[in-house]
Structure formats: C-alpha cells, structure tokens
Amino acid sequence: MQLIDGKKTSQDIRAEIAEEVKEIVANGGKRPHLAAVLVGNDGGSMTYVNAKVKACKEVGFESTLIKKEDNITEEELLQIVDDLNNDADIDGFIVQLPLPKHISEDKVTEAIDPKKDVDGFHPVNVGRLVVGLPTFVSATPYGITQLLKRYNVETSGKNCVVLGRSNIVGRPMSILMSQKDMNCTVTVAHSRTQNLKEVCASADILIAAIGSPEFVTADMVKEGATVIDVGTTRVPSSETKSGWRLKGDVKFEEVAPKCNFITPVPGGVGPMTIVSLLSNTLLAGKKAIYK
C-alpha cells in the first residue's frame, strides 16, 4: 500500500508555479493577479479564502480580497462581479460559496466572465470540459488528476467509480476520468444507485465524494484498488484545540491495507485544491485557455 501524499505534491506544484512566475516577471511579463470575494462571516469560508490569498503571495501572485457583510444585496454583488470582469489588472477571480440565501449562486456564477472564472464553475467552462476544449477545470477534480498522474497510477482501461454527482466534484471528475487523457470506464454512483457495495467493489479506482464520514468500508473495495477520499466532514473531537477534526468518506484503517494507493484525510486531496486554483490563475494570467 502506498500513501498518496497530497501535502508534498501540492508543495512541489507550488514550487513549480513560483518558478514560472519568477520567469514571467523576469521577462517583463505581468504578475498573475487573483481576486477573491468573501461574503459574510462563515468560519469555514473565511479560513479557505485566507488560505487562498496566502497561497497567492507565496507563489508570487498579486491578490485582492474583497470582503462584504452578509446583508449585501444581490445587485451590489453582481456589480462587484461586473467591476472585476472589466478590471484589466485582474486575471481571475472567485466568489466564495456558499452565499447568503437571498443571493442566487447560479446568477452570480453565470455573471462571472468565463475567461476569469478560475473556479471553473461557469456553465461555459463546464461545457468546454464536457466537449474536451481547453478550460478552467474545477479545483478538486483537477487536483485529483494531478495526484493520479504524479503517482503514476495506471488509469487507461480501468474501471473508475465516482461516488457522488455534485457539480463541483463528482460530475466534472467523472468527465475527466472518461476523457482520452485518463481513458477510464466510468460509473457515477449516488444515493439511488442499486447494489452500491458491488458497484464500488468493481472499481480499480474509487473516488469517494459524498460527504458521509467513513461511508466506504473494506467490503466495498477491491483488493489492489486505488482509493481517493474527497470527504472533509468536521466531526467533534476532544483531542484537538479547535474542538473538531476532519473525517474522510473512507474508513481508512480497514480500507488502506487492501489498496495499492490511497489518499489520507487530512493531507490527501485537501491540499491539492488550493494549488489547483493557483494553476488556473497562472493559466488565466498567461491567457492560455482563452486568447
């Protein structure tokens, strides 16, 4: 069994990005600039956005954080999006989700210029992914493909089961794994899937993204499989200062001994998501997706 170390891989990629930024700037190019919009005071969102801004600084990007109270109107937020769309200095930006209930996340996402949508959430970018055009791929699925590649996990011709069909992980993941690059035979399993245990046990590569702690047990995993755990549920813990700890979707202790490769939680998929956002921002800065 080999542990896939997302922390180490993300550090390697960050170093590669920092090197490329240095080169761009040394050659008189523009330093990539990411803006992040944060609405309200949700603890998780604040932590994520602060980590994204810090990561930008570390690789040499410019970053701008726009913080708004949760009583901001939808119209005011759409105006901020419009301003960022038209600001030539901003290469890419994100609006951190979730948004307060009185604001339509779909409307805000669709208002972002696809050329600056480094989250890859805009339907145009999702559509480009489906038809195999260059696009911004959303962070978690992109990070997972990087882990599989960098650990030389054989994917061609293999059965891949994606557990979960969310717009930001399961569905784009299933598309990526079926494309010519990865060449998997893909099954998307979800809450209505019959014989779920058997379906999962048929997977050479099992990607669990349902947000249900320790859902995947040893009897659901084939001997020699690769298991990617996307789950990050916070569960109460008396052993940590914060009072909680992260639990994955996989019962690690009993599943790991059966695996060829497995990602831990924390330290597996999690650290890759921010680095994927950095990769997308670099692509935006270089105008590599849209000319």
Nearer to ligand GUN, 95 or 163 (CB): 95
Residue number of the CB atom closest to ligand GUN:
97
Using the rule CB under 6 A, which residue among 139, 200, 207, 272 binds ligand GUN? 139
Nearer to ligand GUN, 95 or 221 (CB): 95
Q: Which of residues 118-137 bind ligand GUN (CB under 6 A)?
A: 119
Nearer to ligand GUN, 45 or 193 (CB): 45
Q: How far is the CB of 120 from ligand GUN (least distance, A)?
A: 9
Phi and psi, residue 59, nearest 5°: -95, 5
Min dist. Cβ of residue 95 to ligand GUN (A): 6
Nearer to ligand GUN, 35 or 153 (CB): 35
Please, are residues 143 and 126 in contact by the beta-carbon 8 Å criterion? Answer: no
Identify the bridge partners of residue 206 per DSSP, sorted by sequence position. 161, 227
Instruction: Determine the Cα–Cα distance for residues 250 and 214; give it in Å rounded to an integer.
Output: 4
CA dihedral 77, 83, 88, 91 (to 10 degrees): 10
DSSP string, 217-267: -GGGS-TT-EEEE---EEEE-SSSSSSEEEE-SB-HHHHGGG-SEE--SSS
Active-site position among 52, 115, 116, 247:
52
CB of residue 169 to ligand GUN, shortest distance in Å: 9
What's the alpha-carbon Rg for the chain, to the nearest Å? Answer: 19
Catalytic residue status for 96 = yes
Q: Are 36 and 66 in contact (CB under 8 A)?
A: yes
Residues in contact with ligand GUN, total (CB under 6 A)?
6
Which range in 88-96, 172-180, 207-215, 245-253 contacts ligand GUN by CB under 6 A?
88-96
Structure tokens at 285: 């800065």
φ, ψ for residue 57, nearest 5 deg: -60, -40
Nearest CA to 174 out of 223, 124, 216, 138 is that of 138
* 52 assigned to active site: yes
Of these, 84, 94, 129, 282, which contacts ligand GUN (CB under 6 A)?
94
Interface segment toward ligand GUN; rule CB under 6 A; list 65-73, 95-103, 129-137, 283-291: 95-103
Residue whose C-alpha is closest to residue 81's, from 102, 100, 105, 57: 105
Judged by CB under 6 A, the residue of 18, 46, 51, 97 near ligand GUN is 97
Choose between 30 and 102: whose C-beta lies nearer to ligand GUN. 102
- Closer to ligand GUN by CB, 122 or 128: give it: 122
Residues 277, 142: contact at Cβ < 8 Å? no
Instruction: Give min distance, CB of 45 to ligand GUN, in A.
Output: 7
Q: Could you give the CA distance from residue 243 to residue 164 in angstroms, rounded to a whole number?
A: 28
**Among residues 91, 117, 119, 229, which one is catalytic?**
119
**Positions marked catalytic:** 52, 96, 119
Residues near ligand GUN, by CB under 6 A: 94-97, 119, 139
